[in-house]
Amino acid sequence: MLNQINIRNFAIIDALELEFRPGMTVLTGETGAGKSILVDALGLVLGDRADSDVVRHGETRAEISAEFNIDTLPTVLSWLQQNDLDEEHDCILRRVVSAEGRSKCYINGRPASLQLIKTVGEMLVDIHGQHQHQSLLKSEVQRQLLDDYGNNQPLADETRTLQQRWKSGLDKLEQLRQSGRDRNARLDLLRYHVQELEGLALEPGEFQALEEEQRRLAHGGRLLEQCAAALNALYDSDELSAQGIITHSLTELQQLSEIDPQLNNICTLINEASIQVQEAGNELRHYVERLELDPARLEWVDQRLGAIHDLARKHHVDPEALPALLQNFSDELQRLENADVLLDQLQAELKQLLSQYQGSATKLSQARQKSAKKLSTAVTGIIRQLGMPAGEFTVALQPREEQTPHRHGLEQISFEVAANPGQPAKPLSKVASGGELSRISLAIQVLLANNQKIPTLIFDEVDTGIGGAVAETVGRQLRALGVSHQVMCVTHLPQVAALGHQHLQVSKKIEGKSTRTQIQLLANEQRQEEIARMMSGMEITPQTRAHAREMIDQAEALA
């Protein structure tokens, strides 16, 4: 629900702050006062196209913000969370337009694209009477409205799911057939590759181990000579070795420590060094004893590494990747060898899915035909009460030209209307009169009030070309819709205005060379005066005041 709107420097509004309530709100005012400015401002914050003309003359920018309560709108809250734009219980949309025509959008204080603000705006408000905001003209909305009216959504969801599964299976079948066209040649090539790689029999980690062994064998002479020399210097030399020097020094220092105990810690460190040198010597001796000069083994390792590198270059992979490549080739070979079985299985699955889809889509079509007939009759009945006495509303179901399964079923849905006798029914998008379209919208919204997910509905020009009893009918329909929705209506008819739960008056004020629009919430006496003015013009008589009071009292007596 729309809680509040703040407008700064928009058109001839300098500053305006309005709070809104549930139910039906009417906006009235004299001709030329700018009754539609509030609707235009709301349209802008919901994502309408903006240019510099909307900025009040002499100002640098226009700014509009609208605050919505979304406690009962889980879809909106989920969308905000998915886009990291959520802010507890509210959704605040803000639009800033500069005098140069640049525009910035914000959702809950965070910068957002125009498309984002437009997307969330379409979930919050539906404006009827201005073509750019009439969701009723969209074919997908018409289909959704029909399915909502007939409670056909479970069937529609089932049909869409079956179509998606069928399409996914068809894509797999095409891939399988594509690979099958070159199957024999591919099979021969894969068998050759697999045989070649299996013949190599490279184990995971073997390549790295072979490289290490190759380096050791290739430098065996140097390793043996220098390690033996190091062993001699550390431990084996009879004349001078590291172990001998350390042992001699330790013996002397131990004797001296008897004189000065401060040498004990040093003796401990030298003793640990002696142990480390001894262990290193033992390890080095074992290494030298195991070290072999084996030219035959080196030749074999070189040949093995050469074969590995040759195959890796052939397949344009690193040597370490050859075992994984063998697995890939083996898997593909198995798939191709079993392709006939898979193809038969997939074709059988597709046949079954197609049968299931056709069954579900046929049930959906039958349900839609029943719903279309009921909706056509119901809407026709209402629009004939709303100043279209010869109006004929029709929900047309046209079979799709394509024979393949479609996610939305077997038919296209179009809302059509014939406004006058003898005229053929035309799609709503071809209806010239904004007033007629608004009344058709009103009729559908009333019928679908329990299914409509958009909480705030705005009707502009719904009373164009009507009056008298028809005007009162329009007002009653809007008031009834206000029980389940927040409804706003721009009107010039007292019969409609009297039925509002909240009444806003739009007026124009001229001060010198400056013109500004003001909007105020009317109290009881002010409302009576405004409705009396709407009935009689500038000269208000006691009779018109009494009549206005009577109309308000009758409206308040309604549910």
**Position 200 in a domain:** yes
Q: Which of the pair, 185 or 331, is modelled with greater confidence? A: 331
Would you state the structure tokens that stand for residue 273, as one six-digit string?
């060094």
**Which tens digit of pLDDT belongs to each residue from 340-372?**
777 888 899 999 999 999 999 999 999 999 999
Q: Tell me the two tokens of residue 190.
A: 């894969």
Q: How far apart are CA 36 and CA 133, in angstroms?
A: 14
Residues 177-189, mean pLDDT to the nearest whole number: 74
Of 285, 304, 337, the residue that ends a domain is 337
**Residue 327: is its pLDDT beyond 70?**
yes
The total number of structural domains that make up the chain: 2
CA proximity to 480, closest of 559, 551, 555: 559
Average pLDDT over residues 167-173: 90
Mean pLDDT of the chain: 85
Is there a domain that residue 130 lies in?
A: no
Supply the range of the domain harboring residue 201.
184-337
pLDDT at 435: 65
Instruction: Give the residue among 12, 22, 2, 133 at the shortest CA–CA distance from 65.
Output: 2
The reported pLDDT for the residue numbered 129 is 61
Among residues 316, 337, 358, which one ends one of the domains? Answer: 337
pLDDT at 508 over 80: yes
Position 181 scores a pLDDT of 62
Task: Determine, yes or no, domain membership for 89.
Answer: no
Domain end, chosen from 310, 337, 364, is at 337
Mean pLDDT of the region 394-416: 92
In a domain, 438, yes or no: no
Q: Which of 130-134, 183-187, 301-305 has the lowest mean pLDDT?
A: 130-134
The per-residue pLDDT for 132 is 40
Mean pLDDT of 192-203: 89
Confidence of residue 133 (pLDDT cuts 50, 70, 90): very low
Most trustworthy range by pLDDT among 48-52, 413-417, 479-483: 413-417
Which residues, including other chains, have CB under 8 Å from residue 147's CB and lie 6 or more apart?
A: 153, 156, 368, 371
430 found inside a domain: no
In a domain, 324, yes or no: yes
| 80 or 216: which leads in pLDDT | 80
Give the angle 5-501-518 at the CA atoms, nearest 5°.
40
H helical segments located in 485-523: 494-497
The per-residue pLDDT for 131 is 46
Residue 434's pLDDT is 64
Question: Is pTM beyond 0.85 here?
Answer: no
Question: What integer is the mean pLDDT of 376-386?
Answer: 88
Predicted local distance difference test score (pLDDT) of residue 134: 60
Residues 249-299 have pLDDT tens digits of 888 888 888 888 888 898 989 888 888 888 888 888 887 777 676 677 777
Per residue in 458-495, pLDDT tens? 887 666 666 778 788 888 888 888 888 899 988 888 99
pLDDT at position 130 is 47
Q: Which position has the token pair 């095409």? A: 174
Does some domain include residue 556?
Answer: yes
Contacts of 405 (CB under 8 A, 6+ apart): 162, 163, 166, 167, 354, 357, 358, 361
**Of the segments 156-160, 210-214, 520-524, which one has the largest average pLDDT value?**
156-160
Count of residues for the chain?
Answer: 559
How confident is the model at residue 136, as a pLDDT?
Answer: 77
Q: Is residue 515 part of a domain?
A: no
Q: Quick: pLDDT tens for 64-116.
A: 999 999 988 888 999 999 999 987 778 999 999 998 888 999 999 999 999 99
β-strands 502-511, 24-29: how paired?
parallel
